[in-house]
Amino acid sequence: MISYPKEKINVLLLENIHQDAFDLFQKDGFNVRALSYAMNEEELLKEIESIHVLGIRSKTNITEPVINKAKRLLTVGCFCIGTNQVRLEEAEKKGIPVFNAPYSNTRSVAELVVAEIVMLARRVPDHIQNTHSGKWNKISKNCFEVRGKTLGIVGYGHIGSQVSVLAEAMGLKVVYYDTQTVLPLGNATPLNSYEELLSVSDFITFHVPENENTMNLYGKKEIQLTKKGAYVINLSRGKVVDLEALAEALKSGKIAGAGIDVFPEEPESNNDPFITPLQQLQNVILTPHIGGSTEEAQKNIGTEVASKLLKFVNNGSTSFAVNFPNLEISPIPPGSYRILNVHKNQPGFLKDINAMVSEIGANITSQHLGTSAEIGYLSMVIDKSVGDELKEKIEKHPGSIKTRILY
Residues involved in catalysis: 237, 266, 289
Q: 250 with 281: CB under 8 angstroms? A: yes
| Residue 393 host element (H or E) | helix 387-395
Neighbours of 344 (CB within 10 A): 14
The number of helix segments (H) and strand segments (E) in the chain equals 13, 16
Q: How far apart are CA 37 and CA 46, in angstroms?
A: 16
Task: For residue 46, give every residue at least 6 positions away whose Cβ sits within 8 Å of its Cβ, in sequence order, or none.
Answer: none
Q: How far apart are CA 168 and CA 255, in angstroms?
A: 23
The residue among 284, 215, 274, 223 whose CA lies nearest residue 249 is 223
The residue among 114, 136, 119 whose CA lies nearest residue 283 is 119
Please give the span between the terminal C-alpha atoms of the chain, in angstroms, as a whole number: 6
C-alpha separations of 256 from 34, 133, 198, 246, 403 in Å: 43, 22, 14, 11, 58
Task: For residue 23, give every residue at least 6 positions away whose Cβ sits within 8 Å of its Cβ, in sequence order, or none.
Answer: none
Task: For residue 283, give every residue at least 6 positions away whose Cβ sits within 8 Å of its Cβ, in sequence order, or none.
Answer: 120, 123, 125, 126, 250, 256, 257, 258
33 - beta bridge partners? Answer: 12
SS3 293: coil
